[in-house]
Amino acid sequence: MMRQGKNVKVFLLALCMSMSFLPVFGSHTGNNESPGPVMYEQSLTVERYVKEGIPNSPTTMAFVGDDILVLERYTGLVRLVRDGQLSPWPVLDVSVAKDGERGMLGITTIENDAYLYFTAADSDAGKAIENRVVKYTWNGDKLVDPVLLKTLPSDNYYHNGGAMTNHNGQVYAVIGDNGNYGWLQNRPHEWKNDTSVILRVDPPGPYYAIGIRNSFGLAIDPVNGSLWDTENGPDEYDEINFVPENFNSGWIEIMGPTDNQTKIDSLPKYGDYVYSNPEFSWQKPVAPTAIEFGSKELGQDNKVFVVDCNTGNLYRFTLNPDRTGFVFESPDLQDLVLNVDDSPDEIIVGSGFGCSTDIELGPDGFLYILSLSQGEIYRIIPAASGEQSVPDSPIIGATTEYILITSAIIATIIVAVVATMLVRVIIKKRKS
């Protein structure tokens, strides 16, 4: 009886050893094992632009000529991407705070001038000092000659903003409320300045807009120079806004659309800033981040693209003839709101991008998407034959995983058969 129990133990041990060949599926979270993003528009396809990926949670990027400068949120590094290759050496290293929504947050460029928005710290990943906007010169290899243009509050780790853009030599930056609730947040009392605003940074000027809760996206319409933003709501109503000069986005009194004129009229008057409803809202928050306009090269010159951080979707909106709002075919979206029970099919043009925090139009007329969670830069290009294309690396990863799984199954069967035969031989010898 003891020998038979020992034989069974031998069999179980062999079987357990064979099972160790099977991959741990839950641990395959690397980029090579993910299916990668997909496009639902047959005229567009997506490819991985930087094969080796971008480490340390990249937040934003900007073109300098054909090169790309990418910000690593947690390390305070700025990295260079040239011809689709990530340079091993950083072009700038500053000390930034990394808690909450702090870190390396925004960049925009005008020729060889680069404007950076970051949360300065007393040491790498140390205590936050303040948010800063600093101008650098790009010499082709490094960012040099820093000039401090603006300091902004960072008393709280949330709603620090950081998105930047520029038009006709004017640089803009946005900051959220950062936990402040005064005139700039439509409350009738004094509080800290330089919060909940879109700022004219260089050259400096009065606030371009106020009443902004938390924004990660600014973009300029290349046709008429109009400014647009995205805005994150609290428990409901994320927004896309057409932002004229002296715009009041309504926070903290209004988030999302309203037809209550009495409520609008009761907003505290700060200067001559005027409220208007968003051009589009999500009732259920998706955390929209970057916003960018399409191009003729993509056949999308009357479109606006938005990425988000909650769902990994790429959204596409059709501009009205005046380019001041959107038009929709779906009856669900005629009220300019994606309500909880509405179908989003008309506006979702791609998915699988992870938490994406930037989208930029490159000098080639193609769209570049930066995924913070996946550490990737993707490029949206025309589909040559109108057929869906899949990035090379995910295909390789999927094929590798298939081979590993198949090999593991075969190995399991072989080892189990050998173990069974071994036990039978032992039992036969014992009987004889």
pTM summary value: 0.83
Model pLDDT for residues 94-138, shown as the tens digit of each residue? 999 999 999 999 999 999 999 999 999 999 999 999 999 999 999
**DSSP H or E stretch at residue 412:** helix 392-431
DSSP 114: E
CA distance 216 to 210: 15
Mean pLDDT of the chain: 86
Share of the chain above pLDDT 90, in %: 78
Angle at 348 between CA 254 and CA 66, to 5 degrees: 95
User: Does the pLDDT value for residue 3 go beyond 60?
Assistant: no
Task: Tell me which residue of 402, 415, 350, 400 sits closest to 379, measured CA to CA.
Answer: 350
Model pLDDT for residues 337-362, shown as the tens digit of each residue? 999 999 999 999 999 999 999 999 99
Residues 6+ apart with CB under 8 A from 154: 97, 102, 119, 128, 129, 130, 131, 160, 178
pLDDT (mean) for 419-424: 51
User: Does the pLDDT value for residue 323 go beyond 80?
Assistant: yes
Share of the chain above pLDDT 70, in %: 81
Count of helix runs (H) and strand runs (E) in the chain: 3, 30
DSSP 320: P
Model pLDDT for residues 208-260, shown as the tens digit of each residue? 999 999 999 999 999 999 999 999 999 999 999 999 999 999 999 999 999 99
CA distance 411 to 403: 12
Angle at 165 between CA 162 and CA 170, to 5 degrees: 120
**Ramachandran bin of 162, using left for φ above 0, alpha for ψ from -120 to 50, beta for the remaining angles:** left
Question: What residue has token string 């990425």?
Answer: 307
Query: Contacts by 257-260 with C-beta closer than 8 Å and gap 24+?
Result: 257/281, 257/335, 257/336, 257/337
CA distance 250 to 124: 36
Task: Tell me which residue of 310, 384, 312, 309 sits closest to 348, measured CA to CA.
Answer: 312
CA distance 401 to 30: 12
* Residue 192: band (very low, low, confident or very high) from pLDDT cuts 50, 70, 90: confident
CA dist list (Å): 132 to 105, 184, 411: 10, 20, 58
- Residue 373 phi/psi, 5-degree rounding, is -75, -30
User: Does the pLDDT value for residue 395 go beyond 60?
Assistant: no
User: Does the pLDDT value for residue 11 go beyond 70?
Assistant: no
First to last CA, the chain: 16
